[in-house]
Chains A and B, each alone.
Chain A
Amino acid sequence: MSKKIVIIGNGVAGITTAIELRKISDCEITVVSEESEYFFSRTALMYVFMGHMKFEHTQPFENSFWAKNNITLKKGRVNTVFPEKNEIAFENGGILSYDYLVLATGSKPNKYNWPGQDLDGVSGLYHKQDLEYLEKYSSKIKKAVVVGGGLIGLELAEMLNSRGIEVTFLVRENSFWSMVLSENEGRMLEKHILSHGIQLKLKTELKEIKGKGSVESVISSDGESIECQFVGLTVGVSPNVGFLQNSSLKINKGILVNEFLQTNIPNIYAIGDCAEIQQPQPGRRPIEAVWYTGKIMGQTLAKTLAGQKTAYIPGNWFNSAKFFDIEYQTYGLAPAKLNEYQGEYYWEKENKAVRIVFNKENRVFEGINTFGIRMRQDFFEKVLNRKESVDFVMKNLDKANFDPEFFRKYENEIKSNFNLQNA
Chain B
Amino acid sequence: MNLDISKKTGLSLGFGGMLILMAALFNLLNGSALLYISLCMILAGIVVYSFGEYTGELSGIKNNEVWFKSVSSKGVVAWILGFVLTAFYVVIYWFPTYLGLNRKGVNTGLVAFFDPLSFALNGHGASQWFVYGTLYTVAILGFGVKFILKYRHSNYQIIRTLSVMFFQLAFAFLLPEFLAKLNPDLDYFAKDLKNMWPLNYYFFEDWHLKAMLGGGNLGMFMLFFGIGMIFLISPILTYFFGKRWYCSWVCGCGGLAETAGDSFRQLSDKSVKAWKIERWLIHSVLLFVFITTVAVIYSFLINEKAALDPKLFLVGVILFLGVFSWYIFKIGYKKLALDARKGIYWASGIISAFLVINMAIGNTNVFFIDSYTLRSWYGFFIGAAFSGVVGVGFYPILGSRVWCRFGCPMAAILGFQQKLLSRFRITTNGSQCISCGNCSTYCEMGIDVRAYAQKGEDIVRSSCVGCGVCSAVCPRGVLKLENGRVEI
Contact yes or no, A327 B475, CB < 8 A: yes
Contact yes or no, A51 B68, CB < 8 A: yes
| A378 contacts across to B, CB distance below 8 A | 429-430, 488
Decide yes or no: A50 and B63 within 8 Å by CB, A320-B476, A406-B159 being known contacts: yes
Residue A318 at the B interface, CB < 8 A? yes
Residue B436 at the A interface, CB < 8 A? yes
- Give the residues from 95 to 137 in chain B that come closer than 8 angstroms, CB to CB, to chain A: none
| B440 contacts across to A, CB distance below 8 A | 57
Contact yes or no, B437 A407, CB < 8 A: no
Task: Select A44's contact among B156, B434, B468, beta carbons within 8 Å.
Answer: B434
Contact yes or no, B441 A374, CB < 8 A: no
Contact yes or no, B155 A406, CB < 8 A: yes
A407, closest chain B residue (CB):
B155
How many A-B contacts if CB must be within 8 Å?
133
| B159 contacts across to A, CB distance below 8 A | 406
| A292 contacts across to B, CB distance below 8 A | 431-432
CB of A195, distance to nearest CB on chain B (Å): 6
- Give the residues from 35 to 68 in chain B that come closer than 8 angstroms, CB to CB, to chain A: 58-61, 63-68
Contact yes or no, A327 B436, CB < 8 A: no
Task: Select A57's contact among B61, B434, B441, B486, beta carbons within 8 Å.
Answer: B441
Contact yes or no, A382 B488, CB < 8 A: yes
Contact yes or no, B481 A404, CB < 8 A: yes
Contact yes or no, B156 A407, CB < 8 A: yes
Decide yes or no: A52 and B481 within 8 Å by CB, A44-B434, A195-B58 being known contacts: no
Which residue among B68, B271, B272, B432 has the maximum number of chain A CB atoms within 10 Å of its CB? B432
Contact yes or no, B435 A376, CB < 8 A: no
| B155 contacts across to A, CB distance below 8 A | 404-408
Residue B450 at the A interface, CB < 8 A? yes
Contact yes or no, A54 B67, CB < 8 A: yes
Contact yes or no, A41 B434, CB < 8 A: yes
Contact yes or no, B432 A329, CB < 8 A: yes
Task: Select A402's contact among B68, B451, B468, B480, beta carbons within 8 Å.
Answer: B480
CB of B466, distance to nearest CB on chain A (Å): 10
Decide yes or no: A60 and B451 within 8 Å by CB, A50-B65, A52-B64, A406-B159 being known contacts: yes
Contact yes or no, A44 B430, CB < 8 A: no
| B441 contacts across to A, CB distance below 8 A | 52-53, 57
Contact yes or no, B63 A52, CB < 8 A: yes
Show 25 A/B contacts (Cβ-Cβ < 8 Å), sorted by A.
Answer: A41-B435, A43-B436, A44-B434, A47-B63, A50-B63, A50-B65, A52-B438, A60-B454, A62-B271, A318-B430, A320-B477, A325-B61, A327-B475, A399-B486, A399-B488, A402-B429, A404-B154, A404-B480, A405-B481, A406-B155, A406-B158, A406-B159, A407-B155, A407-B156, A408-B155
Interchain residue pairs A-B with the least CB separation, the first 5: A377-B430, A325-B60, A374-B477, A44-B436, A406-B155
Interface residues of B (CB under 8 A from A): 58-61, 63-69, 153-156, 158-159, 271-272, 429-432, 434-438, 440-441, 450-451, 454, 468, 471-473, 475-477, 480-481, 486-488
Interface residues of A (CB under 8 A from B): 12, 41, 43-44, 47, 50-54, 57-60, 62, 162, 195-196, 291-292, 295-296, 318, 320-322, 324-325, 327, 329, 374-379, 381-382, 396, 399-400, 402-408
